[in-house]
Copies of this chain bind each other. A is one copy, B any other.
């Protein structure tokens, strides 16, 4: 029997993938310029105070919504279901769990969605119907199994990959995600092998993680974002991204290096609005049906990075909205670093 869930007799595949994320930014125009010119996304639409973007490898019309707001952070996280029936089943499970929520008519790129607030305070939505991207002639790919022509602009982020959110109760949130949506726990971190769990990596199908949950360091905070990640095809693309960020005065917080958990090759930067954004490649894939959740602890070489690179303190402390406010308007290299080390 599949050991990755304590709630389902057999593995549940009703939720398919991370469909889209809405981020808040205090400087919408600069955030758009970062995501388009440097990160390499395409701007699909603007509506009021929001902009909709997509990566060249995303199949749906849009995977990122940027909305002007006073503070950075994640507005909501959209999980796409396998079908409308699967959507109904998951909504029933949420209600059975005691979650209040409401149906929304939809947004640019997708149809009706069930919106709810997870126990961690993060707004999420489940939906199935999405608009497939149809390229205009100048964006048509040479290969028909690719949604869009590869432009190679900037980092050329290829597709939305995963999100990392903070919570005071890691175990509670991962049980919720498992029980209601079928997220499979793949790895978790319990420093010293006992005491509190401070990280959990969960996935929907073959990936090592679609959602990571890590311990919220600030007492009063709720619903905060650690990072949003898009994938690129290989490690050389991550190294190339580092050069692109360097040339464009984007603050590089951490990486490129290899994580121990997930074995992903990572690079973290801050977009102008302050949200931490990752360029991600590789990592392990899970094909065996009897993957049991792996518990990491210091006695088991529980370092965050495979090759021994130390984790910057900001990586454990900084999140958005930033309850310990950095110099929000100028997150370029030196200024941001100075702010972080205060």
Interface residues of A (CB under 8 A from B): 1-2, 10-11, 13, 16-17, 59-60, 80-86, 128, 130, 132, 141-146, 149-150, 152-154, 159, 187, 205-207, 233-237, 239-240, 242-247, 249, 251-252, 255-258, 260-263, 265, 282, 284-285, 287-291, 294, 296, 300-301, 303, 306-310, 332-333, 337
Q: Could you tell me if A289 and B82 are in contact, using CB atoms closer than 8 angstroms?
A: yes
- Closest CB in chain B relative to A9 CB, distance in Å: 8
- Closest CB in chain B relative to A292 CB, distance in Å: 9
Taken together as a complex, chains A and B put the C-alpha atoms of A282 and B282 apart, in Å, by 9
Residue of B at shortest CB range from A14? Answer: B10
Q: Which residues of B lie under 8 Å from residue A291 when comparing CB positions? A: 59
Contact for A143 among B146, B153, B255, B301, CB less than 8 A: B301
Taken together as a complex, chains A and B put the C-alpha atoms of A279 and B121 apart, in Å, by 46
- Closest CB in chain B relative to A311 CB, distance in Å: 11
- Closest CB in chain B relative to A160 CB, distance in Å: 9
Q: Could you tell me if B246 and A142 are in contact, using CB atoms closer than 8 angstroms?
A: yes
Q: Could you tell me if A146 and B287 are in contact, using CB atoms closer than 8 angstroms?
A: no
Q: A143-B260, A144-B301, A294-B145 are in contact. Are A244 and B152 (CB under 8 A)?
A: yes
Q: List 16 A-B contacts (CB under 8 A).
A: A10-B82, A10-B83, A11-B13, A59-B288, A80-B289, A143-B246, A143-B301, A144-B300, A145-B263, A145-B294, A234-B236, A242-B306, A243-B258, A251-B308, A256-B257, A303-B332
Q: A145-B284, A306-B142 are in contact. Are A240 and B152 (CB under 8 A)?
A: yes
Residue of B at shortest CB range from A295? Answer: B144
Q: Could you tell me if B17 and A287 are in contact, using CB atoms closer than 8 angstroms?
A: yes
Residue of B at shortest CB range from A16? Answer: B289
> Which 10 A/B pairs are nearest by Cβ-Cβ distance?
A236-B236, A59-B288, A206-B206, A16-B289, A17-B287, A242-B307, A82-B289, A234-B234, A252-B308, A205-B205
- Closest CB in chain B relative to A225 CB, distance in Å: 21
- Closest CB in chain B relative to A41 CB, distance in Å: 15
Taken together as a complex, chains A and B put the C-alpha atoms of A186 and B261 apart, in Å, by 31
Taken together as a complex, chains A and B put the C-alpha atoms of A235 and B239 apart, in Å, by 9
Taken together as a complex, chains A and B put the C-alpha atoms of A60 and B81 apart, in Å, by 30
